[in-house]
Chains A and B, each alone.
Chain A
Amino acid sequence: MTITPDTLVWFELGPLTINATIGFTWVVMAIMTIGSWLVTRDLTTSALSWWQNLLEYVVELIAAQIREVSDQSPSPFVTFIGTLFLFILVSTLLALVPGFYPPTASLSTTAALAICVFFAVPVFGITQQGLRRYLRTYIQPSFIMLPFNIIGEFSRTLALAVRLYGNVMSGSMIVAILVTIVPLLFPIVMQVLGLITGVIQAYIFAVLTTLFIGSATRSRHDTLDKQTNTQAKEIHQHE
């Protein structure tokens, strides 16, 4: 039994090793690339096709979620967060195909995704706020918080990677074990459950990324201003 698709090596050429994780990642990428190209090659503003409707729905759903979670305009983040979400989602959905191992069942993939988030957060933060204001967020509310904030950056990246990996891998393992013990029916139910878990994990990963980016791009002053305004409104209502 394979815990991770990394152990399934497709071919080796010196130091270059192509395993199932990398291979299936490219499969997922190819499917997403071809799919998006097919749908967007004849986009129209009227007489929408079924696929264009679906694409617009997905993109608008992602944008709406980003807006809701980060309370900011989703335009700068929608590509990054949307790609993360769709990659994890498609990887998980393809797990239904016999013989397909979701790349997200490998710690390499989830770690790579978490590293992307790790670097994307300061990039977005600096882009939106400027270097000085972004760095200032590490010493807020006081200078003592600096080490904790830095540890927090690493720990949340680790948590992102391990959470996704653990959930997808455990789902795949449970199905694999059940297939050997009870070959009929029960694995199907578990597969469906694994699918739901995978979708939820894709959502959680995207939402957490949005939260991290949102907190990095929104200055503390904005937050404080917003809180003050909310409190002022409440006081006004009470009066």
Chain B
Amino acid sequence: MGALGFDLGSILWQLVAFGILLFVLYRFMYRPTLAMLDARAERVRQGLEQAEDARRQSDAARLEFERTLDEARKQGQQVVAEATKSAERARQDIEAQARLEAERVLEEARQRIENERRQALAAVHDEIVDLSIEATRRVLRQGIDEDMQRRLVGRFLQEESGDGVNAG
């Protein structure tokens, strides 16, 4: 057995050596490597969890965005509809006001024309009276007194007025 290398002393040496190697490799190789592999596995697991969280948040945000967009679209449509209605109402109001204003202006113009016509007629009437009196005074300077003149002129004017009305 000795020729084959079977020696109790050597076996003890090798046992001690292997024990030391076991300790040293555990201390310098397996422990740090396994710890690092565990740390990496943990990091990967956390990364996956974070990715899953991010995906969930992204889905929630997308749903929220779609919901908000939908609401905004509805609100927009509502605003447009209200604005259209409001504009229509404003158009109708403006139109009505314009019509009223136009009628008012027209009425005022008519009244002003009427007044001016009346004033003009009155002025013409006075002028005619004055002119007639003057004319009559000149023609009948000595035969007719002033009362007579006035009556004559008044009757003349009445006749003229009736002609003018008939003619108008």
Contact = CB atoms under 8 A, between A and B. Distances in A.
Interface stretch (A72-80, A126-134, A181-189): A72-80
B20 A106 contact: no
B32 interface: yes
Nearest to B25: A83
A111 interface: yes
A115 B37 contact: no
Interface residues of B, number: 33
Nearest to B10: A108
B9 interface: yes
Contacts of A107: 1, 4-6
Given A55-B29, A109-B14, A29 B5 contact: no
B17 A36 contact: no
A122 to B, nearest CB: 16
A205 interface: no
A207 to B, nearest CB: 19
B120 interface: no
B7 to A, nearest CB: 5
Nearest to B12: A112
B99 interface: no
Contact of A43 (B6, B15, B17, B32): B32
A108 B6 contact: yes
A29 B10 contact: no
B14 A43 contact: no
B131 interface: no
Contacts of B30: 59, 78-79, 82-83
Nearest to A82: B30
Contacts of A108: 5-7, 10-11, 13-14
8 contacts: A4-B4, A19-B10, A32-B24, A78-B34, A79-B30, A106-B10, A108-B6, A109-B14
Interface of B: 1, 3-7, 9-15, 17-22, 24-26, 28-30, 32-34, 36-37, 39-40, 43
Give the top 5 A-B pairs by smallest Cβ distance, nearest first: A4-B5, A112-B14, A108-B10, A36-B29, A6-B5
Interface of A: 3-7, 15, 17, 19, 21-22, 25-26, 29, 32-33, 36-37, 39-40, 43-45, 55-56, 59-60, 75, 78-80, 82-83, 86-87, 103, 105-109, 111-113, 115-116, 165, 169
